[in-house]
Amino acid sequence: MAFVQAAIYDPAAHTISVYTPLVADAPPNTPGVPRTPRYAISPVVPKLTANSVVAIWFGYNAKNLTLTGTAVTDGTCFTGFGQFASCNTTAFWAAVNADTTLLTNIWDAFKGQTGTDGQACPTARSFSIVDQDPADSLPVDFLLTTETPARTAQDTIANRATLTGKGITFNAQINPIDEVVVDRFIDGALGCNPPIVADLTDPGTTRASLAVNELFAGLQSGQFPAINPTSIYGNGPSQLRGPALVAIGDTFTLTPPFTQPLTPSAGYPYAGAELTAFDDYVAAMGYTGQTNPQAISGTLQTGAGTAFSRTNQYRASTNQPLASVSSTTGQDGTTADASVQSFCRKLYTRTAVGDNSPADLLFNKDLTAFNQAGNGPGGSDLFIFLGDRFAASYDLLGCASVFGKPNPVNVANVNATTPGNPVLPYYPVVFP
């Protein structure tokens, strides 16, 4: 299932609003029969003000989403990033980042929140939230009828009432990854309020969005010093500080992707075919001269199409600071550091200054809201979901080899854990 969300910047009003376009399959191409999309209810058409700047992001619940058309060939859209794509984000972020009134209003409206765990409410860039592919989803949903064939509708108050009144049953479909995990599930469990703005899809209501999530996360981390100069991660370089930004090694920036064996046949370090696969993975990151399977080394390639340039394309589409070559190879832990080694180190320790770790979301098993059956994406409880998510991310990034520490999460122990019981041996220790 594909998901789309647009953010609309109004420079005159200094506001961002959101709109959820509707995705629907076209029926079979039958000669003489118009190919009308399978909408249960025609989409709402938003009214935009003059000089509005619009950006669009795409999420996907399958493997690879590909955009086509002139907007792709002329460079307006970024595509080929696994489950993620975007359009017109360069113009959108340039306009938004220059509007200090807008930035101040968003910061003042949502800053300073504390969750029921006593920690600062996490953002979409907290290491207690992200997986191996940060910022690759949308906090949106649409209605899918249970008819055969199924039809879609925008999730609005009016559409729900209309379908119900006609006796048509439906389910809400979501894109359950980073952005919606923090907005809906984590914030809901912690009593936090995500940054929300007006929703043009359902006038009179508000909605969370990738655009405002990422903007507020940047404000929280000191990306806009004129508004907030203090980062929740502390100031100065450190391999344990900094927000979770897209790294080289993000599986969506590599061609071909690397799949980490859950249990290497010869253990660590890799050997045989698995060593070859890992060397191919390193080469896909843009490095050459790799000889040690436990440490990425060699010369970083930065030309067009390399993992380095694709990483910066991905970062630019989500308003993240761009990576620098010197920082990446030096692994200094700043926002310009896109090395997979630093990302794995932070993911492993989960103790970035000011983040919700180690008493963070994954290990906060005593919060009742995290252990209620069915309260997490996919129907599992939230604690189990986060444990499984951490373990998979660590393996998909190949962290055990590039960082030199085995996966600290024992999924079997996560699934068996009940509130109040110890969760060793998977509780990670700080690794300096």
Averaged over successive runs of 10 residues, the pLDDT of the chain (432 residues) comes to: 94 98 78 77 93 95 83 85 93 98 97 84 85 89 91 95 97 87 87 95 96 96 92 66 86 80 73 83 82 69 91 96 88 85 80 44 61 71 77 81 72 51 36 27
CA 30 from centre of chain: 39
pLDDT for position 212? 97
Assigned token pair, 192: 């936090």
* 194 to 106, 119, 120: CA distances (angstroms): 11, 15, 12
pLDDT at 235: 62
pLDDT at 275: 82
Contacts of residue 124, defined as CB under 8 A and 6 or more positions apart, other chains included, come to 130, 134, 135, 178, 179, 182, 210, 213, 214, 217
Q: What is the pLDDT of residue 363?
A: 54
User: In the β-sheet with 15-19, what is the strand arrangement from edge to edge?
Assistant: 77-81, 84-87, 53-60, 2-10, 15-19, 196-199, 205-208
Instruction: Please check whether residue 1 is in contact with residue 61, taking contact to mean a CB–CB distance below 8 angstroms.
Output: yes
* Token pair listed for 282: 């390193």
> DSSP character for 214?
H
Cβ-proximal residues to 382 (8 Å cutoff; 6+ apart), any chain: 185, 186, 189, 369, 370, 371, 372, 375, 376
Angle of helix 307-317 relative to helix 272-285, nearest 10 degrees? 60
pTM for the model? 0.89
8 A C-beta contact, residue 108 and residue 102: no
3-state DSSP call for residue 39?
Answer: strand
Q: Which two tokens stand for residue 149?
A: 């064939």
